[in-house]
């Protein structure tokens, strides 16, 4: 009698967050990602390459010289554009055949069947491996989660999703011929994606911006851009920084939001950038730093009904309870969601206790 198929969890198979952990806390790693592109740095790691040196051509990043090699092997040097082209081609090379799977397959055998390369690259493209169902006959079926929801695919189809992501990334890289080829129209699409919670889509649209823009900022061309263009660039970087924060890539988010603030200077968009940067500090339990950033947002004319609830939460986290309550009341007064603040207000009031109750009676008679 054939054994009935069942869905096996892929908790011990998937590799979510491996790339973020690799560069955690490293400013040099974040800078490398900004110049080479985070996905291409991930591609290099998956391909077993170590990037050992990078000589940047600020006028034409594709002509920058990159030195790399395998562990214990000789170093090679290529123009950055050629390196990206060859790296993508290597990852798109012919796959080894997958070993067959039985219902008693171990995590190691499942990884081998999917392909370790694809297990590592799946999260780079926003694909989360959930379960695998191994039938008595036919191909195994994977349940995967993407920004668009849950989908069932075969191993071959999963590999094609990842391979298409590599092709798209290579195509975008080949089109980026200079640091000044920034498509400002992408900001409109990124805003729509951010509003729908499609954070990976925002990264896909704007992820190549930080490296070129950090270079452009220091040039006469960058300094000579109009205020409107600088504001659009800053807005795009703000969307990208918040997308990275939502994807738990907070180190990158901080770097990009600081770059956005430099582009925005003291323009109208800068107030919102300080709000975004303050919010990322708050979720990292860095409430003290968040307070200063959020107050700066308000000082620059930031939308109070969006900033004040964050500021109240930061005050509460620092046990500045009276400031938190007064900020909550002010937030409600300018139109913030009162129901959304109810839990925070209740916890702060409970912590203040009887003295607050007496004070309220005194104020209100």
**Secondary-structure percent of the chain, ordered helix, strand, coil, rounded to 5:** 60, 10, 30
Which pLDDT value is given to residue 219? 79
Over residues 44-65, the mean pLDDT reads: 81
Which pLDDT value is given to residue 119? 95
Q: Is pLDDT at 279 greater than 70 in this prediction?
A: yes
- Tell me the per-residue pLDDT of 118-159, one tens digit each, with 9 for 90 and over: 999 999 999 999 999 988 788 899 999 988 789 999 999 999
Over residues 212-226, the mean pLDDT reads: 81
Over residues 224-250, the mean pLDDT reads: 90
Which pLDDT value is given to residue 1? 39
| pLDDT band (50, 70, 90) for residue 364 | low
End-to-end CA distance of the chain: 81
Which pLDDT value is given to residue 26? 79
- Tell me the per-residue pLDDT of 224-234, one tens digit each, with 9 for 90 and over: 888 888 999 99
| pLDDT band (50, 70, 90) for residue 202 | very high
Residue 285: CA count within 13 A, CB half-sphere: 0
Q: Is pLDDT at 2 greater than 60 in this prediction?
A: no
Report residue 184 CA to chain centroid gap.
20
Which pLDDT value is given to residue 270? 92
Which pLDDT value is given to residue 284? 87
Which pLDDT value is given to residue 217? 84
Which pLDDT value is given to residue 365? 57
Q: Is pLDDT at 173 greater than 80 in this prediction?
A: no
Classify the C-alpha dihedral 136-138-144-149 as positive or negative.
negative
Q: Which residue has the tokens 């990159």?
A: 66
| pLDDT band (50, 70, 90) for residue 312 | very high
Which pLDDT value is given to residue 351? 87
pTM: 0.54
Mean pLDDT, rounded, of the chain: 86
Which pLDDT value is given to residue 145? 93
Which pLDDT value is given to residue 218? 80
Which pLDDT value is given to residue 98? 74
Q: Which H, E and C letters describe 225-289, residue by residue?
A: CCHHHHHHHHHHHHHHHHHHHHCCCHHHHHHHHHHHHHHHCCCHHHHHHHHHHHHHHHHCCCHHH
Six-digit token string for 313: 């939460």
Report the percentage of the chain scoring pLDDT > 70: 93
**Interior angle at CA 182, CA 231 and CA 217, nearest 5:** 60
Q: Is pLDDT at 179 greater than 50 in this prediction?
A: no
| pLDDT band (50, 70, 90) for residue 59 | low
Q: Is pLDDT at 63 greater than 90 in this prediction?
A: no
String of DSSP letters for 161-221: HHHHHHHHHHHHHHH--STT---TTHHHHHHHHHHTT-HHHHHHHHTTSHHHHHHHTTSHH
More confident residue, 61 or 164: 164
Note whether 173 and 82 are within 8 A (CB): no
| pLDDT band (50, 70, 90) for residue 32 | confident
Over residues 15-41, the mean pLDDT reads: 86
């Amino acid at each position: 009698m054939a054994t009935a198929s069942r869905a096996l969890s892929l908790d011990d198979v998937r590799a979510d967050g491996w790339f973020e952990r690799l560069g955690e806390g490293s400013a040099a790693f974040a800078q490398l990602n900004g110049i080479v592109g985070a996905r291409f740095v991930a591609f290099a790691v998956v391909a077993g390459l170590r990037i050992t040196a990078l000589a940047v051509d600020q006028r034409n990043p594709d002509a920058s010289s990159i030195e790399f090699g395998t562990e214990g092997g000789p170093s090679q040097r290529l123009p950055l554009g050629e390196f990206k082209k060859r790296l993508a081609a290597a990852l798109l090379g012919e796959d080894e055949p997958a070993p067959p799977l039985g219902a008693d397959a171990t995590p190691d055998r499942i990884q081998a069947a999917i392909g370790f390369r694809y297990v590592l690259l799946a999260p780079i493209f926003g694909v989360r491996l959930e379960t695998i169902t191994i039938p008595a006959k036919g191909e195994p079926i994977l349940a995967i989660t993407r920004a668009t929801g849950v989908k069932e695919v075969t191993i071959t189809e999963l590999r094609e999703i990842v391979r298409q992501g590599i092709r798209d990334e290579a195509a975008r890289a080949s089109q980026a011929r200079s640091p000044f080829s920034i498509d400002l129209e992408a900001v409109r699409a990124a805003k729509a994606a951010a509003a729908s919670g499609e954070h990976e889509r925002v990264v896909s649209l704007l992820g190549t911006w930080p490296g070129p823009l950090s270079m452009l900022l220091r040039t006469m061309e960058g300094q000579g851009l109009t205020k409107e263009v600088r504001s659009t660039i800053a807005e795009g970087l703000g969307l990208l920084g918040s997308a990275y924060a939502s994807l738990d890539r907070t180190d990158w988010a901080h770097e990009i939001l600081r770059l956005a603030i430099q582009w925005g200077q003291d323009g109208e968009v800068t107030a919102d950038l300080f709000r975004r940067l303050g919010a990322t500090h708050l979720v990292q339990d860095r409430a003290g730093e968040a307070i200063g950033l959020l107050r700066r947002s308000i000082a620059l004319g930031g939308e109070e009904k969006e900033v004040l609830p964050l500021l109240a939460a930061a005050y509460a986290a620092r046990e500045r309870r009276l400031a938190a309550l007064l900020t909550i009341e002010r937030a409600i007064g300018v139109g913030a969601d009162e129901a959304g603040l109810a839990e925070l207000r209740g916890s702060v009031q409970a912590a203040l206790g009887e003295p607050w109750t007496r004070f309220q009676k005194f104020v209100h008679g």
